């Protein structure tokens, strides 16, 4: 998939805005791995001589836009969509129970954790909307999580292309090993979650 994106967007205005639009479409249900899009955006940044931080800012906007569409769909159409047979196939009862258990256990921080759970990410954001969670609270938790994941994967794409652009086979082999990198992202997320929890406890004690 990485090579396909590079072939289609390289050397055109879509090298930046193509991945951005795909990230928005992910919010409408496009079944494309978000992490690969971010890695591809980082590689395209190298090809176009764009700093990875600049690319990260644009991709961050795309990610938050896509997530917001999922949240808004849950807010306005949650009850109707849950009852639809086609929605039950996409979001079966077992997955709904997992999401509800996550919210019950972690509360609002479940939205933070959701960014690092690809199979549950969209259901978590949809459920948050249908549960009438404050949009600003959603933006805070999801936005904070995206500040960790988005730059990390864009930087990874930047590094992969800078290091292996002359050896695509090695690049693909290294890319297949990114699950280890993803683990470190989850570790960072867990640490950030612990910081949020400690901060919230301290705030409650002061209150």
Low-confidence spans in the chain with pLDDT less than 50:
none
What is the DSSP-derived secondary structure letter of residue 91?
A: S
Read off the pLDDT of residues 136-156 as tens digits, 9 standing for 90 and up: 989 988 998 898 889 989 998
Quote the pLDDT of residue 127.
83
- Residue 12 zone, left/alpha/beta (φ > 0; ψ -120 to 50; rest): beta
Residue 111: in which H helix or E strand, if any? helix 109-114
22-58 in b/e form (b: 16+ CB < 10 A) is bbbbbbeeeeeebbbbbbbbbbbbbebebebeebbeb
Q: Scanning the structure block, which residue is given the tokens 């864009």?
A: 154
Give domain limits for the chain: 2-206
Q: DSSP string of 71-86? A: HHHHHHHHHHHHHSHH
In the prediction, which pLDDT does 21 show?
93
Q: How far is CA 86 from each of CA 66, 81, 89, 121, 122, rounded to the nearest angstrom?
A: 21, 9, 5, 19, 16
Is the CB of residue 44 less than 8 Å from the CB of residue 9? yes
Cα dihedral sign for 158, 163, 169, 173? negative
pLDDT value of residue 20: 95
- Count how many Cα atoms sit within 13 Å of the Cα of residue 7 in the half-sphere of its side chain: 5
């Amino acid at each position: 998939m990485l090579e396909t994106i590079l072939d289609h967007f390289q050397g055109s205005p879509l090298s930046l805005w193509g991945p951005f639009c795909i990230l928005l479409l992910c919010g409408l249900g496009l079944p494309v791995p978000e992490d690969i899009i971010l890695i591809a955006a980082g590689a395209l940044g190298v090809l176009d001589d764009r700093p990875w931080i600049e690319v990260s800012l644009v991709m961050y906007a795309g990610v938050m836009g896509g997530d917001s569409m999922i949240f808004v769909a849950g807010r306005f159409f949650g009850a109707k969509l849950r009852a639809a047979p086609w929605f039950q196939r996409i979001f079966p009862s077992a997955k709904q129970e997992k999401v509800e258990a996550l919210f019950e256990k972690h509360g609002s921080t479940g939205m933070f954790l959701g960014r690092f759970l690809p199979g549950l990410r969209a259901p978590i954001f949809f459920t948050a909307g249908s549960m009438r969670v404050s949009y600003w609270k959603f933006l805070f938790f999801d936005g904070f999580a995206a500040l960790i994941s988005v730059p990390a994967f864009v930087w990874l794409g930047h590094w992969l292309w800078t290091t292996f652009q002359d050896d695509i086979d090695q690049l693909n082999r290294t890319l297949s090993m990114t699950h280890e990198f993803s683990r470190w992202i989850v570790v960072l997320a867990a640490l950030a979650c612990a910081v949020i929890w400690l901060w919230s406890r301290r705030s409650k004690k002061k209150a």
